[in-house]
């Protein structure tokens, strides 16, 4: 059964690649790529679900391929299966959506062959990353995934900014790969085959310094893919540039594989570590969450905004995982399980609502041809379904119950609160600070999504394009609808899913029973030792009941139900135009003032006065820009330094043959002297 | 002749060879360079004969004759014709002036002595004393290549380096195997011919054979 | 079964009391300012009037504008079902803990702010923007402040906090509690739109927050929103009263206890109403951009409260 | 006999080019076909080497082919065959005069001959002669069309390489000297196996000095920094086909010579002397190449710097013991396939855009889609991305570094590789995208000329997933050579 799923998945993705290459453009090509991707995604989903449900790993090895280091070895255990399910869940709606969404690119002159083939390969490599069972297989699939997604990002390669975004992306991802290579090779020690089983055995024999070095390399390497601060710089560049169904997959699924890798290393290969590992993850998670949302607030490019929210949510996931790892190092397995399961569940939830939001943003982009929120507005009337779905996504990401964002954030909160049980006060004090940052983050996220939804979909259209927006195709709506449904389902039914996550975790050393017993199947989510419990399902039912009852009761009491359409009341203004509306920038202005210390916006005011008198102003111009500190303090100096070195090195090649010969002579004499007294 | 004369004679020969190398540092006229090389090669072939005689290796006579033909007659002739055709006379402004050049030349020979010490000590040959001089000559040839601007001077510098190596080979090993020696000559011949072609081309395209003008390709 | 009925009764009583609470503060304020003022039951008249009027909706607004008042009201009702009023622990207590409560309130704010943006007026946008700014800092403060209690009481479920505190009163007496109380009180003022953060009795001032946002609502929609905001006031007062001073809350379902607990609860609410009324007469409204500073301060206080709970345990 | 079959075709081809005047396309074609014979012979030799046989042939054991030689023979003859099929003068293009074509075909075949000779002779003195000859012959091809730049490049090339190679001869003489000093004169002393067997008795202090000269000498030819300076000039000004040969295999041949000597010197010294030197120079090379790439402004020079980078990598690999040598040899093969293809493609690009400036090439994907895709694939291969072979060999190389206990050096190496990666991809993207100037015609011509490139890509792809058993045993054979 499992191997049937596996082969269907692999062959479907393979066939998708070939189909795209052969058919090229046209509806047939798009639909066949999409349906094969759906088939493959479904098979992946089936495979993952089967492994999770039966608890038996699926493995398959091709020793002839990659003979350099152990062959192409694949093994899907619970952890990998969870992420494979994630891939399936992301792939199906995205592919469905993409079937018609990509039609527009055909006219744009982008290579449909490339796009279809890379899309299929992207899914395939992601799926195989979760299955990789030795170092080389992992690295190959990992880099394959990066490369294919890079090509998807640069689909609209005729645009200058797309190319530059692609450059950032591939550079960051390559740096990540280098770090991972280091981590893996350190872990391999003298072993050359690098099977994960051997690495597990090897890990215990390493010194704690080496283990920590491996952890740091892996954390930074996977973190660059996941988008932790300050390695996230590629996200707000690449996500907007990519076609939206790809952004959905990248943000919803691909960056999660960074989380997968981190867990694979820390939980599985290294088998846990000192408390500061978890602490570091927690700290970086908290910073990513808060700064992610803060920068998102200041964006008025819809997709960039969503990209920054991915940084935020990765931060939240890492808060859970970090806390879990800290508990693990103190042997508090129930709390550890809670934290990690919370992180995993948020991973799943983020995959649904962020994919949904990106697909929604894509629909808006499709309809208005702009990503600038300042040119949108009023779309709720033009595209009601998209608006509804986007609203559900916005509420879910703002952790509003009974949607899924709430359920997982609740678990993360609960695990952080459990921190007071840590015996060392110096360590446990980290937790409440993290709680505070997480609380602030979710408050700000809500503000941000009021802005995102309100400015985009509500009020009057702010531009001609927005006025002419149109409903998107049925396949796009279906894709979004499926994800919206998932947001609701995962929000109401965490108690069905969380025990499965516990099962996954139970496979790792130390968790065992703790993970199982903490989350038995019931209607309420209960944190360990009943520190807190909620039942999103009942609250959801309750809300529906109340919402139904209120009008009913009002009817009973014979309330006036007449309704009249009138002009907007505006203090006696004559007419209402779009220019009077609040803009995205003005919406965020109060928060920008509050957090001015962090944003440090540049201000530039130019006043042109009339020639006759300086009291008469001809024109005023105000520019204010927020350059994130990490770009100013980290990346710009780094790039400047590299450029400086490059300029110095360039001077070596000055053009004079005499100089060149002098190099030869000098090096020769130097080495001769060294050799003479070696 | 007496075997005991072998060592002093070879040292004398090597010194003379080196001396003609030093002439390159001292003179400015291209003609003088070519002449110095010519006479250096004469002495060098003498050293070959000497080693052939004392080392009882008749092969070396043959090599000596070939060397005479190639380096004393053919190449100087070629270079002389080249010099006339391109109309270059003097090395006007070397990168390092004459006095400093001589000083550096001396230091290079000293350096060669320092570096060759382990080599000299392991050898039992009577000729071993002159080995550092040969390496010194290689260094001096390299120095000429680095500091002199005319293409022809550079060729001469290269040839002097070659002579240094030949000297090293004959003194250190009583001559490398004949087949290799012949191959080296063949390479040298072809190399010089190719260099000659290029010098004409430099003259044609740059209207000068000052190599310091060849700095368009950089970075 | 009784417990569920009691739960329902609590909610209904809250709904009934909420307008009175608003009216009482208004009346007391007027008195303190030397005016006669409207009677405390004035809000009931207002609600009846609004319910009988027709609704006028802007032609630019969408379905969301009409849907939002119900969500706001519904979330308020849902919260009253989850928090301890005068009897603990009731069955719904296990359905939602303090996070659920905080985020349910966020649900109302979320929709209210969206409805503010919907008609496209500058006022609505302004109000929504400010409301969300306040909420973004206030909501986490609520969570943190109650966390500090939860940690000492050993549960995040509010009813359980009350039960545990009653069982072991020593946990309620420490510095962290005071910090948390101050923080939650400031947030109460902010969330319910009271001076010095907002002025509930004014319209069309450039510094207003809540009132600007609901400017477009009318008729039954406005009635629901007004009722919900009264309910919110009641919720916050109940939280302040029952979490920090849990004495008087019935812990068994016997009618005697309940009959004692109900007046005590209403008395506590009244006391807080007096405090708020006094404050509103004594303080001037803050400049709008000073508001976040106040909120940040309360956030920091709440954070300190949590930290001290962590360390002093 | 195989040796004759290997070496004679190129000599014959040169002869053909010499005697047939004026030049006729038939000459080019027959030369190309002849090169296939050499390739076949190389494969035959490799077959013997895989079977564990060491072929020795000729008077005084003049020729000898172990796995190392066989690998290089296959690389050289394969790239040579591709080069000859893509050489100018096979079609009816009027870009070159008959004289130029005749000269080209004469010298490029001699060049190929001398490279093949270098890797097939037993005597490392003759190997030196052959490598010296490569300089002379290839220098004659560089200024195919006379221009200031090409003359300048060829002068620098011949000058610097001649000097370098002369220094290598000093090293060779010193090695021979030490042999002679210990055991008297012997005609076959420079035969590699003889020297290797005798190496443990040689004097360490002499061999150290000798190795420095050899390192500088062959390093100059291989493009090790800071002796690499001739390389960007020569590669950017040569005809694309010559650049392909020089970059793809000539550098490897020089590394081959260095490796031969390294084995001898290691047998004498036994310690990490050569490894330390190679690591240091390798990293220096990598550093200079990576940062030179950042500001490169000319795509052929860019490719040349990339060759320098890969030379550095190979050099580092050689210093990392048997598994490092394994990786380095694997890398040589991959690099030969990728880099030769890139230079061929650069020739096509130059032909269309009439400029080697990076700034002049825009919108390559629109102008020449097939070329652009192949160029992109080659570049991705060169920067070490999967699914191409260089990913595997670089992985093997870094793994060797970790296994032999150099994690810090490998960290530095990875950083430098990342710099090179970013630089190359930025340049690649600037070439592929953007809007070409209006006068540039679009569409591909000489489509058949892309066939060899497709074959290169296929080789790279196969090597990216799969290591054929025969190839692996060849590499293992080489690794066994360096294991004492």
Q: Binning pLDDT at 50, 70 and 90, where does residue B41 land?
A: very high
Pairwise CB contact (< 8 Å): D233 & B217: yes
Q: By CB neighbour count within 10 A (0-12 exposed, 13-18 middle, 19+ buried), where does D279 fall?
A: buried
Give per-residue pLDDT as tens, D248-298.
999 999 999 999 999 999 999 887 899 999 999 999 999 999 999 998 889
Give per-residue pLDDT as tens, A212-233.
999 999 999 999 999 998 899 9
Residue indicated by tokens 């939830």: A349
Retrieve residue C183's tokens. 């923080």
Are residue A326 and residue A239 in the same domain, yes or no?
no
Give per-residue pLDDT as tens, C132-188.
998 998 888 998 888 888 888 888 888 888 888 888 877 667 777 888 899 999 999
Q: Of A139, A178, A668, which is closest to D216 when you measure between CB atoms?
A: A668
Q: Is residue A280 part of a domain?
A: yes
Q: What CA–CA distance (Å, rounded) separates D366 from D347?
A: 17
Q: Binning pLDDT at 50, 70 and 90, where does residue B75 land?
A: very high
Any bridge partners for residue A623, and if so which?
A604
Retrieve residue C66's tokens. 């009409």
Are residue A168 and residue A307 in the same domain, yes or no?
no
Chain mean pLDDT for chain A: 88
Q: Binning pLDDT at 50, 70 and 90, where does residue C193 land?
A: confident
Asked whether A625 and A602 are in contact (CB, 8 A), the reply is: yes
Q: Does D230 touch chain A (CB under 8 A)?
A: yes
pLDDT for residue C201 is more than 80: no
Ranges A61-65, A452-456, A518-522, D150-154: which has the least confidence: A518-522
Q: Binning pLDDT at 50, 70 and 90, where does residue C292 land?
A: confident
Chain mean pLDDT for chain D: 91
Q: Binning pLDDT at 50, 70 and 90, where does residue A425 land?
A: confident
Pairwise CB contact (< 8 Å): A661 & D163: yes
Q: Pick the residue from chain A with its C-alpha nearest to D277.
A: A671
Residues A42-56, mean pLDDT to the nearest whole number: 91
Other CB atoms within 10 Å distance of the CB of residue A273: 20
Q: Is residue A267 part of a domain?
A: no
pLDDT for residue A516 is more than 60: no
Residues A607-614, mean pLDDT to the nearest whole number: 80
Task: Return the top range by mean pLDDT from A559-568, A578-587, A668-677.
Answer: A668-677
Q: Does C107 touch chain A (CB under 8 A)?
A: yes
Q: What CA–CA distance (Å, rounded) separates D221 from D252?
A: 9
Are residue A305 and residue A234 in the same domain, yes or no?
no
Where does a domain end: A557, A576, A592?
Answer: A557
Ranges B88-97, C302-311, D241-250: which has the least confidence: B88-97
Structural domain boundaries in chain D: 1-122, 272-484
Q: Is residue A433 part of a domain?
A: yes
The contacts of residue A562 (CB under 8 Å, 6+ apart) are C54, C55
Asked whether D464 and D382 are in contact (CB, 8 A), the reply is: no
Q: Of A64, A65, A672, which is closest to D209 when you measure between CB atoms?
A: A672
Q: Pick the residue from chain A with its C-alpha nearest to C107.
A: A400
Q: Is residue A581 part of a domain?
A: no
Per-position DSSP letters for C38-91, written without gaps between them:
--TTHHHHHHHHHHTSPEEEETT--HHHHHHHHHHHHHHHHHHHHS-SSB---G
Q: By CB neighbour count within 10 A (0-12 exposed, 13-18 middle, 19+ buried), where does A426 fall?
A: exposed
Are residue A659 and residue A529 in the same domain, yes or no?
no
Pairwise CB contact (< 8 Å): A414 & C126: no
Q: What is the pLDDT of residue C227?
A: 93
Are residue A300 and residue A239 in the same domain, yes or no?
no
Q: Binning pLDDT at 50, 70 and 90, where does residue A574 land?
A: low
Q: Do the two chains C and A touch, given a threshold of 8 Å on CB pairs and at least 3 pairs?
A: yes
Q: What CA–CA distance (Å, rounded) separates D163 from A667?
A: 14
Retrieve residue A399's tokens. 């952790």
Which residues from chain D sit within 8 angstroms of residue B135, using beta carbons?
A: 170
Q: What is the pLDDT of residue D148?
A: 86
Q: Pick the residue from chain A with its C-alpha nearest to C117.
A: A454
Q: Do the two chains A and D touch, given a threshold of 8 Å on CB pairs and at least 3 pairs?
A: yes
Q: Binning pLDDT at 50, 70 and 90, where does residue D167 land?
A: very high
**What pTM does this model have?**
0.92
Are residue A357 and residue A504 in the same domain, yes or no?
yes
Q: Binning pLDDT at 50, 70 and 90, where does residue A642 land?
A: very high
Q: Binning pLDDT at 50, 70 and 90, where does residue A629 land?
A: confident
Ranges A414-418, A644-648, D34-38: which has the least confidence: A414-418
Are residue A349 and residue A476 in the same domain, yes or no?
yes
Are residue A239 and residue A281 in the same domain, yes or no?
no
Pairwise CB contact (< 8 Å): D147 & B205: yes
Q: What is the pLDDT of residue C205?
A: 64
pLDDT for residue D187 is more than 70: yes
Pairwise CB contact (< 8 Å): D166 & B119: no
CA distance C11 to chain A (A): 12
Residue B211 sits at the vertex; the CA angle it makes with B208 and B216, to the nearest 5 degrees, is 95
Q: What CA–CA distance (Å, rounded) separates C230 from D108?
A: 94
Q: What is the pLDDT of residue A460?
A: 86
Q: What is the pLDDT of residue A520?
A: 52
Give per-residue pLDDT as tens, D314-370.
999 999 989 999 999 999 999 999 999 999 999 999 988 888 899 899 888 889 989
Which range marks the domain in which residue A447 is found?
A: 272-557
**Neighbour subunits, C (≥3 Cβ pairs < 8 A):** A
CA distances from A280 to A266, A310, A430, C120 (A): 13, 19, 11, 45
Which residues from chain A sit within 8 angstroms of residue B212, using beta carbons?
A: 656, 658
* Helix runs in chain C, H state only: 2-32, 42-51, 63-82, 98-117, 122-153, 158-167, 175-191, 210-213, 219-239, 255-282, 291-311
Q: What is the pLDDT of residue C254?
A: 82
The DSSP output letter for C157 is S
Which residues from chain C sit within 8 angstroms of residue A428, using beta carbons?
A: 310-311
Q: What is the pLDDT of residue A12?
A: 94
Retrieve residue D290's tokens. 């990576």
Q: What is the pLDDT of residue D484?
A: 66
Pairwise CB contact (< 8 Å): D148 & B179: no
Give per-residue pLDDT as tens, A16-38.
999 998 888 888 888 999 999 99
Ranges A583-587, D211-215, D390-394: which has the least confidence: A583-587
pLDDT for residue D186 is more than 80: no
Q: Does A543 touch chain C (CB under 8 A)?
A: yes
CA distance B161 to chain A (A): 13
Per-position DSSP letters for D16-28, written without gaps between them:
HHHHS-S--HHHH
Retrieve residue B121's tokens. 């000590």
3-state secondary structure of D185: coil
CA distances from B17 to B10, B117, B127, D419 (A): 10, 20, 14, 50
Give per-residue pLDDT as tens, A199-215.
888 888 889 999 999 99
Q: What is the pLDDT of residue C1?
A: 67
Structural domain boundaries in chain C: 2-311
CA distances from A547 to A551, A552, C72, C75, D55 (A): 7, 9, 10, 9, 90
Chain B residues 132-171 within an 8 A CB cutoff of chain D: 135, 138, 142, 145, 151, 154, 158, 161-162, 165, 168-169
Q: For chain A, how many structural domains are there in total?
A: 3
pLDDT for residue C272 is more than 60: yes
Residues C90-115, mean pLDDT to the nearest whole number: 89
CA distance B46 to chain D (A): 20
Residues A616-621, mean pLDDT to the nearest whole number: 82
Other CB atoms within 10 Å distance of the CB of residue C236: 24
Residue A273 or residue D112, greater confidence: D112
pLDDT for residue A518 is more than 60: no
Q: What is the pLDDT of residue A618?
A: 80
Which residues from chain A sit within 8 angstroms of residue D425, using beta carbons?
A: 167, 170-171
pLDDT above 70 covers what percent of chain C? 97
Element (H, E) at A564: strand A563-566
**Is the CA virtual torsion B15, B21, B25, B26 positive or negative?**
positive
Are residue A244 and residue A293 in the same domain, yes or no?
no
pLDDT for residue A523 is more than 80: no
Give per-residue pLDDT as tens, D69-81.
999 999 999 999 9
Residues C32-38, mean pLDDT to the nearest whole number: 88
Q: Pick the residue from chain A with its C-alpha nearest to D227.
A: A664
3-state secondary structure of A573: coil
Q: Binning pLDDT at 50, 70 and 90, where does residue C203 land?
A: low
Q: Does A158 touch chain D (CB under 8 A)?
A: yes
Q: Of B118, B145, B154, which is closest to D209 when you measure between CB atoms?
A: B118
Give per-residue pLDDT as tens, B162-184.
999 999 999 888 888 888 888 88
Q: Is residue A313 part of a domain?
A: yes
Q: Of A170, A178, A649, which is closest to D292 when you measure between CB atoms?
A: A649
Q: Pick the residue from chain A with its C-alpha nearest to B141.
A: A665
The DSSP output letter for B2 is -
pLDDT above 70 covers what percent of chain A? 97
Chain mean pLDDT for chain B: 88
Are residue A244 and residue A278 in the same domain, yes or no?
no
Where does a domain end: A557, A575, A609?
Answer: A557
**Neighbour subunits, B (≥3 Cβ pairs < 8 A):** A, D
Q: What is the pLDDT of residue B138?
A: 94
Any bridge partners for residue A372, and if so which?
A301
Q: Is residue A395 part of a domain?
A: yes
Asked whether D14 and D113 are in contact (CB, 8 A), the reply is: yes
Q: What is the pLDDT of residue A333?
A: 86
Residues B41-48, mean pLDDT to the nearest whole number: 93
Give per-residue pLDDT as tens, C214-256.
888 888 999 999 999 999 999 999 999 988 888 888 888 788 8
């Amino acid at each position: 059964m499992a191997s049937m799923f596996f082969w269907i998945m692999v062959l479907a993705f393979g066939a998708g690649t070939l189909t795209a290459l052969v058919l090229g453009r046209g509806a047939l090509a798009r639909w066949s790529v999409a349906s094969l991707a759906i088939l493959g995604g479904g098979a992946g989903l089936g495979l993952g679900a089967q492994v999770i449900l039966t608890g038996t790993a699926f493995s398959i090895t091709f020793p002839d391929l990659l003979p350099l280091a152990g062959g192409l070895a694949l093994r899907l255990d619970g952890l990998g299966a969870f992420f494979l399910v994630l891939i399936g869940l992301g792939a199906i709606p995205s592919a469905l959506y993409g079937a018609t969404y990509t039609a527009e690119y055909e006219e744009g002159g982008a290579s449909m062959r490339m796009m279809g083939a890379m899309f299929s390969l992207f899914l395939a490599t992601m799926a195989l990353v979760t299955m990789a069972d030795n170092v080389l297989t992992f690295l190959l699939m990992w880099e394959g995934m990066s490369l294919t997604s890079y090509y998807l990002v640069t689909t609209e390669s005729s645009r200058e900014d797309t190319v530059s975004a692609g450059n950032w992306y591939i550079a960051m991802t390559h740096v990540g790969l280098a770090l991972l290579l280091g981590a893996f090779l350190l872990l391999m020690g003298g072993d050359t085959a690098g099977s994960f089983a051997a690495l597990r055995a090897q890990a215990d024999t390493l010194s704690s310094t080496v283990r920590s070095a491996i952890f740091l390399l892996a954390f930074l390497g996977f973190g660059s893919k996941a988008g932790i601060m300050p390695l996230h710089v590629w996200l707000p560049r690449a996500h907007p540039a990519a076609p939206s169904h790809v952004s959905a997959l990248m943000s919803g699924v691909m960056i999660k594989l960074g989380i997968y890798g981190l867990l694979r290393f820390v939980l599985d290969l290294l088998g846990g570590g000192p408390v500061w590992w978890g602490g570091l993850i927690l700290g970086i998670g908290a910073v990513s969450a808060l700064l992610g949302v803060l920068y998102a607030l200041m964006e008025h490019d819809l997709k960039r905004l969503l990209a920054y929210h991915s940084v935020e949510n990765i931060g939240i996931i890492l808060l859970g995982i970090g806390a879990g790892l800290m508990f693990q190092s103190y042997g508090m397995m129930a709390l550890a399980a809670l934290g990690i399961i919370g992180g995993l569940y948020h991973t799943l939830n983020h995959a649904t609502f962020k994919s949904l939001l990106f697909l929604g943003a894509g629909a808006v982009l499709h309809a208005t041809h702009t990503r600038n929120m300042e040119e949108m507005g009023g779309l709720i009337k033009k595209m009601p379904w998209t608006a509804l779905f986007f609203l559900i996504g916005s509420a879910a990401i703002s952790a509003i119950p009974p949607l899924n964002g709430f359920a997982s954030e609740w678990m993360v909160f609960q695990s952080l609160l459990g921190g007071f049980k840590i015996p060392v006060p110096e360590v446990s004090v980290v937790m409440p600070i993290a709680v505070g940052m997480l609380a602030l983050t979710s408050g700000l996220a809500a503000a941000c999504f009021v802005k995102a939804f309100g400015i985009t979909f509500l009020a009057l259209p702010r531009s001609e394009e927005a006025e002419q927006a149109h409903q998107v195709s049925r396949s796009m709506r279906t894709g979004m609808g499926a994800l919206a449904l998932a947001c609701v389902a995962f929000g109401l039914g965490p108690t069905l899913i969380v025990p499965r996550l516990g099962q996954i975790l139970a496979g790792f050393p130390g968790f065992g029973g703790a993970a199982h017993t903490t989350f038995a199947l019931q209607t309420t989510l209960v944190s360990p030792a009943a520190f807190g419990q909620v039942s999103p399902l009942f609250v959801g039912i309750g809300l529906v009941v109340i919402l139904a009852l209120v009008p009913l009761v009002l009817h009973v009491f014979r309330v006036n139900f007449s309704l009249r359409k009138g002009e907007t009341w505006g203090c006696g203004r004559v007419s209402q135009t779009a220019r009077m509306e609040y803009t995205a920038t003005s919406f965020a202005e109060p928060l920008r003032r509050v957090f001015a210390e962090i944003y440090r916006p540049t201000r530039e005011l130019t006043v042109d006065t009339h020639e006759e008198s300086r009291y008469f102003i001809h024109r005023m111009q105000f520019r204010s820009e927020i350059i994130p500190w990490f770009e100013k303090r980290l990346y710009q100096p780094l790039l400047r330094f590299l450029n400086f070195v490059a300029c110095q090195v360039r001077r070596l090649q000055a053009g004079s043959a005499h100089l060149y010969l002098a190099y030869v002579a000098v090096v020769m004499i130097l080495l001769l002297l060294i050799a003479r007294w070696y | 002749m007496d075997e005991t004369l072998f060592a002093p004679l070879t040292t004398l020969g090597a010194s003379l060879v080196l001396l003609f190398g030093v002439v390159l540092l001292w003179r400015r006229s291209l003609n003088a360079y070519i002449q110095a090389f010519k006479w250096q090669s004469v002495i060098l072939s003498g050293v070959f004969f000497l080693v052939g005689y004392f080392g009882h290796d008749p092969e070396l006579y043959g090599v000596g004759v070939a060397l005479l033909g190639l380096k004393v007659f053919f190449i100087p002739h070629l270079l002389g014709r080249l010099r006339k055709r391109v109309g270059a006379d003097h090395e006007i402004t070397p990168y390092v002036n004459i006095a400093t050049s001589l000083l550096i030349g001396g230091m290079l020979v000293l350096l060669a002595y320092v570096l060759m010490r382990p080599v000299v000590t392991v050898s039992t040959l009577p000729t071993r004393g002159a080995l550092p001089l040969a390496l010194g000559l290689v260094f001096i040839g390299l120095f000429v290549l680095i500091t002199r601007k005319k293409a022809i001077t550079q060729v001469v510098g290269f040839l002097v380096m070659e002579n240094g190596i030949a000297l090293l080979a004959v003194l250190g090993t009583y001559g490398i195997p004949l087949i290799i020696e012949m191959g080296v000559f063949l390479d040298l011949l072809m190399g010089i011919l190719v260099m000659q072609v290029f010098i004409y081309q430099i003259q044609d395209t740059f209207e000068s054979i000052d190599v310091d003008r060849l700095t368009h390709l950089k970075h | 079964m009784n417990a569920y009925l009691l739960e329902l009764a609590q909610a209904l009583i809250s709904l009934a009391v909420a307008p009175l609470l608003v009216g009482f503060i208004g009346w007391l304020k007027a008195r303190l300012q030397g005016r006669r003022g409207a009677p405390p039951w004035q809000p009931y008249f207002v609600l009846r009037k609004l319910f009988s009027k027709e609704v006028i909706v802007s032609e630019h607004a969408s379905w969301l504008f009409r849907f939002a008042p119900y969500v706001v009201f519904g979330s308020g009702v849902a919260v009253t079902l989850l928090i301890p009023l005068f009897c603990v622990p009731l069955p719904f207590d296990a359905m939602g803990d303090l996070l659920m409560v905080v985020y349910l309130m966020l649900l109302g704010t979320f929709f209210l702010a969206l409805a503010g943006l919907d008609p496209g007026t500058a006022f609505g946008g302004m109000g929504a923007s400010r409301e969300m700014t306040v909420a973004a800092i206030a909501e986490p403060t609520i969570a943190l402040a109650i966390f500090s209690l939860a940690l000492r009481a050993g549960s995040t479920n509010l009813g359980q906090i009350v039960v545990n505190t009653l069982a072991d009163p020593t946990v309620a007496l420490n510095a962290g509690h005071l910090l948390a109380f101050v923080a939650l009180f400031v947030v109460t003022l902010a969330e319910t739109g009271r001076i010095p953060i907002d002025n509930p009795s004014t319209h069309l001032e450039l510094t207003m927050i809540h009132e600007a946002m609901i400017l477009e609502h009318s008729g039954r929609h406005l009635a629901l929103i007004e009722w919900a905001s009264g309910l919110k006031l009641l919720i916050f007062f109940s939280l302040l009263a029952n979490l920090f001073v849990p004495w008087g809350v019935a812990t068994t379902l016997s009618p005697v206890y309940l009959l004692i607990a109900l007046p005590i609860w209403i008395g506590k609410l009244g006391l807080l109403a007096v405090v708020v009324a006094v404050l509103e007469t004594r303080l001037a409204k803050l400049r709008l951009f000073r508001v976040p500073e106040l909120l940040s301060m309360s956030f920091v206080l709440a954070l300190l409260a949590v930290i001290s709970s962590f360390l002093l345990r | 006999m195989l040796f004759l079959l290997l070496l004679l075709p190129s000599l014959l081809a040169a002869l053909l080019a010499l005697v047939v005047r004026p030049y006729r396309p038939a000459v080019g074609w027959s030369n190309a076909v002849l090169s296939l014979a050499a390739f076949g012979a190389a494969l035959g030799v490799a077959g013997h080497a895989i079977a564990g046989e060491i072929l020795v042939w000729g008077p005084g054991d003049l020729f000898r082919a172990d796995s190392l030689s066989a690998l290089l023979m296959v690389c050289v003859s394969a790239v040579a065959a591709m080069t000859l099929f893509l050489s100018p003068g096979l079609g009816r293009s009027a870009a070159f005069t008959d004289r130029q074509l005749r000269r080209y075909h004469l010298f490029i075949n001699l060049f190929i001959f001398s490279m093949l000779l270098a890797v097939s002779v037993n005597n490392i003195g003759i190997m030196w002669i052959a490598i010296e000859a490569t300089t002379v012959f290839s220098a004659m091809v560089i200024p195919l069309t006379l221009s200031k730049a090409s003359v300048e490049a060829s002068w620098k090339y011949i000058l610097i390489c001649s000097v370098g190679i002369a220094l290598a001869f000093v090293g060779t003489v010193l090695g021979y000297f030490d042999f002679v000093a210990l055991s008297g004169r012997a005609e076959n002393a420079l035969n590699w196996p003889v020297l290797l067997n005798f190496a443990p008795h040689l004097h360490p202090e002499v061999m150290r000095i000798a190795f420095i000269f050899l390192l500088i000498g062959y390093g100059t030819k291989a493009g090790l920094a800071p002796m690499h300076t001739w390389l960007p000039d020569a590669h950017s000004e040569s005809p694309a086909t010559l650049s392909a040969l020089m970059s793809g295999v000539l550098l490897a041949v020089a590394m081959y010579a260095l490796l031969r000597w390294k084995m001898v010197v290691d047998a004498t010294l036994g310690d990490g002397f050569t490894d330390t030197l190679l690591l240091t120079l390798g990293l220096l090379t990598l550093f200079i190449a990576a940062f030179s790439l950042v500001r490169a402004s000319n795509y052929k020079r860019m490719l040349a710097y990339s060759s320098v980078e890969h030379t550095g990598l190979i050099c580092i690999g050689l210093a990392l013991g048997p598994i490092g040598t394994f990786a380095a040899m694997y890398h040589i093969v991959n690099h030969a396939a990728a880099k030769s293809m890139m230079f061929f493609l650069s020739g096509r690009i130059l032909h269309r855009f009439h400029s080697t400036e990076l700034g002049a090439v825009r919108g390559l994907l629109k102008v020449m889609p097939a070329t652009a895709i192949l160029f992109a694939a080659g570049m991705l291969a060169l920067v070490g991305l999967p699914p191409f072979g260089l990913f595997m060999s670089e992985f093997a190389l870094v793994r060797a570094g970790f296994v032999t206990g150099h994690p810090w050096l490998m960290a530095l190496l990875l950083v430098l590789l990342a710099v090179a990666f970013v630089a190359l991809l930025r340049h690649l993207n600037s070439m592929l995208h953007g809007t070409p100037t209006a006068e540039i015609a679009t569409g591909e011509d000489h489509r058949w000329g892309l066939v060899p490139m497709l074959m290169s890509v296929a080789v790279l792809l196969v090597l990216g997933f799969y290591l054929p058993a025969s190839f692996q045993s060849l590499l293992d054979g080489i690794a066994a050579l360096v294991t004492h």
